[in-house]
Chain A
């Protein structure tokens, strides 16, 4: 029963190599989720960039005679308890939201990626130490760690960013380490190693690009989470302080007047949902586009 008809190897493996970036872009466009997400985010980026031209009023000028106005042609989203124009405040707050979300993730990602690379590449004790610490930080569910850190540091924009960055570090460390373990023993990396490349070069020039896909996906999703957390902290009064028009803080001050003036909480909330939705959809779409299983 020995011999068998020769089986042709998996055809897919011989697919023509295409520039990674180009093929990613192609698949992103085919993937509706990432396309919609990207459009939403570009929309908000433009708002943040051109805020001075878009604001119809000074976001901080109070006008007590004109408080609690409903939406009108003068105040598109109405005015708040101090008579400030909610539309302009939301426009102004856009850059704060994007800033907190992206910077806290960027800082967390840089530290997390480096730690993850080291843990995955060197293994052994270094790996154990880094990952045990990550386990500990991840043992604080959701917003709790950031809450504890901000409670000690005191409420401010920068402290929120620090807290969220710390919260993001173990997330990226874990994901990077996992990916490194997957690729570190492939022949290509082994070959580079055998040729005597320096560790730093292997880590950043060869390993990092090969583990970048899951990191990019995670980054997008983490920005969404971090924006939600930051808004939550502000809502609890632990983040950006009034009168800065940060969306979470606007929700916090608006809730007291909500019964008769729901527009105080409605519009900042919708803005928040849309931005978070943009990052979530981008992340989801990227994940599908980058998933080798869904190549077809």
Chain B
């Protein structure tokens, strides 16, 4: 499905977003790189607080004070977004790139009908008149599978279920056929059966429009079902990036391995379940070396130096297409330090 030679729809380079709080700077996103291509879905996964939402809000330039994008480059089909003025970028939001959020219950404005809220998008970006916009609203509501769209358009958000509201959010986001859709935990707040329906809907709409999708989640199941490419985030950084098959078959980063192992599997005895110990370090105690070092079972001397995100340079079982990983184990320096760990042991997670 991936077509690597295409120019990416979204290209994020060295994105840095910080919050300037009383207690000092919090580097919520610290040097993140990734790309999303046409018709491709990038899944971003990671623990709570790892910076997934801030990454996606940065792309939408919805970071509110005291937060600020302090560095990096964001390109949408070659268009440098951070160079746009506020007014220019407002024309892109909801038009060329859209976002849906985790909480469908609170993401719609309670005092306007859902029809009004969907219509607002097309009125702004497509300069449609009232009647035309209404037609468009009905079409979109139908498209996202809302029954009786004519009457539902007149409903207020509180009159709809969570799943219906998320459909409305999707209708709103997709009304202008964006090049990129960002979905920040779109199903977390919903029932399991509804979750599947919503993911199915996003997939179907992607197939018909060819848009690029960025989907953010805690849930590896969602990743497995929807993503083509996966970025694993930890403490504001991408620690591993690979296509979904590679990642699930052979997770490289110790953190990714930990995530995989925390999924209960039928073929593994529950007692052997490996859960990652500890929590994400707070900004104050962020190590200068590898940020995962405190929790990493393989940490050693060299890990006090910050590893960079790179393709594994030492040969792992002959696999060299393994995306990129931020861990010393997969570098020649690891052996040079005379580390006790052997690569075969590192692979035990797969």
Contact = CB atoms under 8 A, between A and B. Distances in A.
Interface of A: 1-8, 11, 296
- The dominant DSSP class at the B interface is loop
A184 B8 CA distance: 58
B222 interface: yes
Nearest to A296: B22
A3 B196 CA distance: 14
Contacts of A5: 45-48, 218-220, 259, 262
A132 B97 CA distance: 56
A237 to B, nearest CB: 49
B276 A8 contact: no
Give the top 5 A-B pairs by smallest Cβ distance, nearest first.
A1-B221, A7-B48, A4-B218, A8-B279, A5-B218
A1 B195 contact: yes
A7 B50 CA distance: 10
9 contacts: A2-B264, A3-B220, A5-B219, A5-B259, A6-B262, A7-B48, A7-B218, A8-B47, A8-B279
B282 A3 contact: no
Contacts of A296: 21-22
Contacts, number: 43
A11 B282 contact: yes
Nearest to B225: A1
B192 interface: yes
Nearest to B48: A7
Contacts of B22: 296
A6 B282 CA distance: 16
A140 B218 CA distance: 55
B49 interface: yes
B316 interface: no
Given A1-B222, A6-B275, 5 more contacts: A2-B264, A4-B219, A5-B46, A5-B219, A8-B49
Contacts of B282: 11
Nearest to A10: B48
B263 interface: yes
B280 interface: yes
Nearest to A11: B282
Contact of A8 (B45, B48, B196): B48
A3 B218 CA distance: 9
A2 B192 CA distance: 9
Contacts of B225: 1
Which residue of B22, B196, B218, B280 has the most chain A CB atoms within 10 A of its CB atom? B218
Interface in B262-276: 262-264, 275-276
Contacts of A8: 47-49, 279-280
A3 B280 contact: no
Interface in B59-116: none
Contacts of A11: 282
A11 B284 CA distance: 13
Nearest to B258: A5
Nearest to A5: B218
Interface string B224-250: 010000000000000000000000000
Contacts of B49: 8
A1 B280 CA distance: 24
A199 to B, nearest CB: 40
Nearest to A7: B48
A8 to B, nearest CB: 4
Interface in B1-38: 21-22
Nearest to A1: B221
A2 B276 CA distance: 18
A296 B192 CA distance: 36
Given A8-B279, A8-B280, A296-B22, A3 B47 contact: no
A8 B221 CA distance: 19
B339 to A, nearest CB: 28
A263 to B, nearest CB: 47
Contacts of B222: 1
B321 to A, nearest CB: 26
A185 B220 CA distance: 38
Nearest to B263: A3
Contacts of B45: 5
Interface in B182-220: 192, 195-196, 218-220
B101 to A, nearest CB: 17
Contacts of B276: 6
B192 A1 contact: yes
A1 B264 contact: no
